[in-house]
Amino acid sequence: MLTMKGPLEKTVQRILLISTYSSLCVSGLIIYGISGIDGIDIITLITASLILTITCIAIVRIVVRKNIVYPINRIIDAMNSFVGGISTIRVDKQVSTVHELKELAESFNSLAEKSSKDISELKKLEQVRSQFLGNVSHELRTPIFSIQGYLETLLDGALDDPAVRRKFVERSHANAIRLNVLLSDLIDISKIESGEMRMSYRYFNAIEMIHDVLHSLEYQAQQYQVHLETKLPEEEVLVYGDKERLTQALTNLVENALKYNKVDGKVIVELTMNSTQVTISVKDSGIGIASEHKDRIFERFYRVDKDRSRAVGGTGLGLAIVKHILEAHQTTPIVESIPGEGTTISFTLKI
């Protein structure tokens, strides 16, 4: 008798043996009933029945192995290849003529593609997380060490010198402010990315928002010796969004334009509109951004000019916050820049 391997084949074999046994019993009864008929050889009939049964088992075994067992084994092998992580192995949907196994192969391939993308994304997120923690540690360490150094110097005797004492206290205060700004930005970006920061959407006057932002930055503009200008319609322009968060985004854009500008330079905030949306642009006459940096300036802690960024007190998170806020409004910042001539960053809002 032919032997089979595997639970599936053994099950098929048992079914065939039971069917054969039942057939032989029925055949025996029939033969017994007609045994009186001349020309009937009982031994010959039983032998022919056994041969036919063995032949059927062999054929079924081949068919089952080709169309069921082998395809399932290939799917199992492909699934096992994912145990160690991402795998490029896929199952050919023509692996079997059985409709259900074709569907199983297609489902596995779809799941494998999704799993590979998810694993790749998780690895990227882990890398970003590690970089983020490293950057945060570095950014926090700088002002903390500065404050520590100034305080140690004061404790070592500089407290007795009024001029040195005041200077070191002022520098410590400036670093404390920088530390507070950094922590505030970290909290904001963490809330935005985790979804904890809820947006409050409503219609508001964009012209009023722009004027409020520029008024709040007039003192900084004077410090950087940069002129603030506007190109705005005279009538009010209603847009739909979170006024508080968009004010924060616009403030960050204008602050950046001030910090990376030239003495006696300009920052122009312009608003244009059509029937469906408005475009707000912040244009400066500053140092500009090289093409290789344009796609990365909205990354957390990415700085084009690291020395200047620290000199003007940047945290490296302002533009990342801008990007997240604008994405929450189904829009993205558009950057146009010419090195040495200036940069324009614009975004659209729904009317």
Question: Does residue 336 sit within a domain?
Answer: yes
User: 62, 96, 116: which is the final residue of a domain?
Assistant: 116
Q: Which residue has the higher pLDDT, 327 or 1?
A: 327
Could you give the dihedral angle defined by the CA atoms of residues 196, 202, 208 and 209, in that order, rounded to the nearest 10 degrees? Answer: 20
Question: Does residue 236 sit within a domain?
Answer: yes
The set of residues, in sequence order, having a beta carbon less than 8 Å from that of 163 and lying 6+ positions away, is none
Same domain, yes or no, for 223 and 330? yes
Give CA–CA dist 185/108, Å, rounded.
Answer: 43
Same domain, yes or no, for 42 and 81? yes
Q: Is residue 255 within 8 Å of residue 308, measured between CB atoms?
A: no
204 φ, ψ (degrees, to nearest 5): -150, 165
pLDDT at 331 over 80: yes
Q: In what helix (H) or strand (E) does residue 320 lie, and over which residues does it extend? A: helix 318-328
Reported as half-sphere exposure (CB side, CA atoms, 13 A), residue 237 has a value of 24
pLDDT at 232 over 80: yes
Same domain, yes or no, for 222 and 165? no
User: 139, 170, 194: which is the final residue of a domain?
Assistant: 194
User: 116, 146, 170: which is the final residue of a domain?
Assistant: 116
Same domain, yes or no, for 103 and 225? no
Scored b (16 or more CB within 10 A) or e, 132-161 reads eeebbeebeeebeebbeebeeebeeebeee
CB neighbours of residue 24 within 10 Å: 15
Joined tokens for residue 201:
């959407």
Question: Does residue 317 sit within a domain?
Answer: yes
Domain that holds residue 82: 7-116
Same domain, yes or no, for 230 and 107? no
Range name among 63-67, 208-212, 227-231 with the lowest pLDDT average: 63-67
**pTM for the full model?**
0.61
Question: Does residue 2 sit within a domain?
Answer: no
Range name among 65-74, 230-239, 299-308 with the lowest pLDDT average: 299-308
81-127 pLDDT, tens digit each: 766 666 667 776 666 656 666 777 777 777 777 777 777 777 776 77
Same domain, yes or no, for 66 and 98? yes
CATH number for the domain that contains residue 246: 3.30.565.10
Q: Which residue has the higher pLDDT, 43 or 348?
A: 348
Same domain, yes or no, for 58 and 104? yes
Same domain, yes or no, for 188 and 250? no
The SS3 assignment for 78 reads helix
Joined tokens for residue 265:
């330079």
* pLDDT computed for residue 100 by the predictor: 67
Question: Does residue 225 sit within a domain?
Answer: yes
* pLDDT computed for residue 1 by the predictor: 41
Give how many domains the chain has, as a whole number: 3
Q: Which residue has the higher pLDDT, 335 or 134?
A: 335
